[in-house]
Amino acid sequence: MVRRAIYCALVSTTSFAFGQTGSPTAAEQAAALKAIREYALSYTRNLPNYTCIQTTKQTSARLDPFTGKPSWGADVIEEQLAFLNNKEIRNVSRIDGRAAAPDGPDQLMGTYSRGEFANLLDTIFEPATGAGVRWDRLATLNRRRVYVFAFRVPQSRGYTLTESKRSIQVPFEGFVYADYETKAVVRIDMKCVNIPADSEYIGADLTLDYRPAPVAGQEFILPAHYLLHFQMVKGFVTNDAEYTAYRRFSADVTVKFESDAK
């Protein structure tokens, strides 16, 4: 999946009244979905250039091919993340408290699955994707009322799973949670489905949460936490990440885009 940020700015839209039954009418559901779709598709262009710190607790277990016993691993990976002109730039800065080398294997320790930040919202809500999006329910999340819409993305625009000898693209489905008042997306829950039986993967699921964060005196809705879990035939990998220290991108910071790397 394309590597660019999937971050959003807070927008204000008119709230919709509930029907007399306590649940939104079909017309109200359609109006809410329209507002959420507009929000999602205008997501990145409303953002300033900024930087933040991503701290990931990465836990893994691999089965020994001879004994069948698991080999456990755990690392804390700190990455400097910059969002500049709708592009995402990452650099691993520390691993388990020690400074990471600017080049070489240390940089490969970064959170390798980045597609979810590149285009999840676009993929779900872009009409050309052909995703099915339907009303599910009203709920409460972090003490705020939210709309919940279920979605299913077809294989043609599915999630990419990278195996040792190939990459496969599979459908995924889940739920989008959007604030009742602002229509800002505050959570995405997704899981991969219809994974081929001969795949190295058994399952893959993700929860991504957004919360208000100040950037140069202005508040935006930005990623706050995500939990990504891969279950494989020979083990698992879990990434549990927090985002902190958001600030406006400074012009005197030198960065290099991945696409520019030689």
* HEC profile of 152-181: EECHHHCEEEECCCCEEEECEEEEEEEECC
- Please state, in angstroms and rounded to a whole number, the distance separating the CA atoms of residues 105 and 259: 19
* Contact assessment for residue 44 and residue 5, using Cβ atoms and an 8 Å cutoff: yes
Domain annotation for the chain: domains and CATH numbers: 26-260 (2.50.20)
The first and second tokens of residue 71, run together, are: 């080999």
Whole-prediction pTM: 0.83
Q: Mean pLDDT over residues 60-83, rounded?
A: 86
pLDDT in tens, 173-183: 999 999 999 99
Phi-psi region of 102 (alpha: psi -120 to 50; beta: other; left: phi over 0): alpha
pLDDT in tens, 228-260: 999 999 999 999 999 999 998 865 555 554 444
What pLDDT score does 68 carry?
75
What pLDDT score does 49 carry?
87
Weakest mean pLDDT among 126-130, 164-168, 256-260: 256-260
